[in-house]
């Protein structure tokens, strides 16, 4: 059959091209094993008031690299965002397909005195959607300002442990732990961490994040 020999040659040529492509080095910076981590948050993750390389995302990226963790931290922080805003933009923010999501939302709800029940419902919806998509979550908690009174604080502060238990996600109880009560780690606005404050946050949250990364990379 005269057509068989040309077909056989083409097949061998195709196999050779596939083999050659497989042996080519990957483009610089590209790695199929790189773990994508999304920091879904507000001004605290967006690096409000800080130089571009001193915010939470770049400092966390450097800390992970220093530990030999092949990860890319994606900036999903929007200054002024509430839990409702985070929920509204969730699908768009997930377009880069992160395997791990740090959820840091609620500070602006508390600062504005918004209903804790509404904040809880928004965070519940976010965690539900992330769970349905099999993404591994680190839930970063927030505490209500004391000037809002004990009843508000009791309702608001309970949101994060209750949702972490409901959804079976890792909880980092207070994102500003070690920073909130230290004026030397806060910007002049009295709210946002300075670069040194961000470094404290990154150092303190790393153990919980390492646990979440190990969970995300566990087979099955």
* Among 57, 43, 72, residue whose Cα is nearest residue 202: 57
Q: How far apart are CA 210 and CA 198, in angstroms?
A: 18
In this predicted structure, what is the pLDDT of residue 108?
Answer: 98
Q: Given this model, what pLDDT does residue 33 score?
A: 84
pLDDT at 118 over 70: yes
- How many Å apart are CA 97 and CA 165, to the nearest integer? 25
Average pLDDT over residues 35-39: 98
Average pLDDT, the chain: 89
Are 130 and 86 a contacting pair, CB within 8 Å? no
Average pLDDT over residues 180-209: 97
Rounded CA-CA distance 2/72 in Å is: 54
Contact 90, 126 (CB under 8 A): yes
- Would you state the pLDDT for residue 63? 98
Is the pLDDT assigned to residue 23 strictly greater than 50? Answer: no
The predicted structure's pLDDT at residue 5 = 46
CB 93, CB 40: distance < 8 Å: yes
Instruction: Find the catalytic residue in 91, 134, 189, 211.
Output: 189
Which candidate in 42, 81, 109, 192 is catalytic? Answer: 192
Query: Has residue 136 got a pLDDT over 80?
Result: yes
Quote the pTM value: 0.85
| For residue 42, pLDDT beyond 70 | yes
- Residue 64 banded pLDDT, cuts 50, 70, 90: very high
Q: Where does 32-216 sit in CATH, by number?
A: 3.40.50.1110
Q: Is 167 a catalytic site residue?
A: no
Catalytic residue among 42, 43, 75, 109: 43
Residue 100, Ramachandran bin (φ over 0: left; ψ between -120 and 50: alpha; else beta) = beta
71-80: pLDDT as tens digits: 999 999 999 9
Clarify whether 189 is annotated catalytic.
yes
Active site residue 192: yes
pLDDT at 32: 56
């Amino acid at each position: 059959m005269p057509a068989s020999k040309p077909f056989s040659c083409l097949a061998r040529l195709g196999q050779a091209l596939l083999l050659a492509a497989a042996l080519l080095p990957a483009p610089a910076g590209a790695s199929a094993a790189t773990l994508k981590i999304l920091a879904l948050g507000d001004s605290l993750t967006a690096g409000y008031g800080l130089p571009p390389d001193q915010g939470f995302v770049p400092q966390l990226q450097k800390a992970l690299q220093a530990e030999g963790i092949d990860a890319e931290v994606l900036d999903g922080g929007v200054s002024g965002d509430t839990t409702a805003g985070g929920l509204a933009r969730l699908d768009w923010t997930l377009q880069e397909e992160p395997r791990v999501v740090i959820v840091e939302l609620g500070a602006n709800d508390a600062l504005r005195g918004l209903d804790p029940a509404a904040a809880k419902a928004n965070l519940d919806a976010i965690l539900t959607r992330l769970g349905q998509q099999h993404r591994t979550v680190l839930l970063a908690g927030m505490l209500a300002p004391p000037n809002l009174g004990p009843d508000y604080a009791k309702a608001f502060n309970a949101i994060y442990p209750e949702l972490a238990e409901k959804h079976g996600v890792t909880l980092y109880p207070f994102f500003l732990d070690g920073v909130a009560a230290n004026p030397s780690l806060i910007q002049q606005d009295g709210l946002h961490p300075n670069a040194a404050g961000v470094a404290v946050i990154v150092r303190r949250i790393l153990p919980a994040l390492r646990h979440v990364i190990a969970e995300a990379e566990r087979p099955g």
